[in-house]
Amino acid sequence: MGAEVTSVIKRSATAVAAVVLMAGCAGSGIAIPAAQSQAALLFADKCGVCHAIPHPARHRAEEWPHYVALMEQRMAERNIVALSDMQRALIMEYLSEHSR
């Protein structure tokens, strides 16, 4: 009887954890600066395809060009439409403005 109750509690705790994890992966769950700006929307659109959008403060301004170049390689590998020069410039400006 006691063991049964414990296992029910454990199971529902696991279910709650799973829901929290899924919300975290949805991308929209993460709060990014100036989220409604054109640059932020473009960033969320282009950089949330393969993983949750990273927060701009995750890296320093001088580190972002390296990551964006790497990500463009990842896009090419998966036949995902590349960034145009204007899109790259807008995303880079947004990332460096809100970087660490």
Q: Interacting stretch for ligand HEC, rule CB under 6 A, among 6-14, 19-27, 30-38, 68-76?
A: 68-76
Map the footprint of ligand HEC across residues 1-60, applying CB under 6 A. Answer: 46-47, 49-51, 54, 58-59
C-alpha R_g of the chain: 19
Q: Tell me if residue 100 falls in helix, strand or coil.
A: coil
Pick between residue 11 and residue 60 the one whose CB is nearest to ligand HEC.
Answer: 60
DSSP 49: S
The C-alpha atoms of residue 78 and residue 60 are separated, in whole angstroms, by 27
Nearer to ligand HEC, 4 or 79 (CB): 79
Residues near ligand HEC (CB under 6 A) are 46-47, 49-51, 54, 58-59, 67-68, 70-71, 74-75, 78, 80, 91
